[in-house]
A and B are shown apart, each in its own frame.
Chain A
């Protein structure tokens, strides 16, 4: 059984479009995250959600918005896509209570903006 899943795994789209990436975890974790991995492989946190509350939001453009319909899901919506948004986006989850801060990652979504 997949612990953290993302769909789609690949996404190719035109500049200016709006797209979403879905994430689901079946670990019963209470916090979920989105990371961006750029072309140089550098990973940076974008968002985290805990009990439907946005905990952190790094310097991410407001074109990006996380949406959590329930504790098991955290989707990433991107409006007006730009060339610089091309990257691999990872979803992750962790359990805060009694935390060891260990995060479990999804397989990633490679977004290509043309």
Chain B
């Protein structure tokens, strides 16, 4: 079974600062994917960034980047130049990969608050 742990229930930073959300996971799979989803107050689940476990290069999407440490099973999200619109719940998740239809396993989330 897969598990995902997010150890920061809530974080608060000033606008324009850089913030890092932590995530660790456990899986017995060799082929899997890791995700960060954002859930703003509208409750829509929005994909922020995706990382293939077999790729060593860290994924980046504009102001969002990850630090993927496969041996340590760590997958942190860095948000640069934070904006008020980044205020949301952030969920780390993993999938089985390999074409399996198992659902995503989510962490409990981090509530990120960007202060003006």
Residues in A lying within 8 Å of B, measured CB to CB: 31, 33, 35, 40-46, 48, 50, 55-56, 88, 90, 92, 96-97, 99-105, 107-108, 110
Partner among A46, A55, A92, A104 whose Cβ is within 8 Å of the Cβ of B102:
A55
Residue of B nearest to A9 (CB): B43
Nearest chain B CB to A111 CB, angstrom units: 13
Chain A interface SS verdict (over half):
strand
Report whether B33 and A102 are in contact in the complex, using a CB–CB cutoff of 8 Å.
yes
* Size of interface on B: residues with Cβ below 8 Å to A: 27
Chain B interface SS verdict (over half):
loop
CA distance A38 to B103 in the complex (A): 17
CA distance A18 to B99 in the complex (A): 34
Inter-chain contacts of B45 with A (CB < 8 A): 90, 92, 105, 108
Known: A100-B50, A102-B47, A107-B44. Is A45-B102 also a contact (CB below 8 A)?
Answer: yes
Partner among A46, A48, A102 whose Cβ is within 8 Å of the Cβ of B50:
A102
* Chain A CB within 8 A of B35 CB: yes
The 0/1 profile, CB within 8 Å of A marked 1, for residues 20-58 of chain B is 000000000000110101010011110100101000000
Report whether B44 and A108 are in contact in the complex, using a CB–CB cutoff of 8 Å.
yes
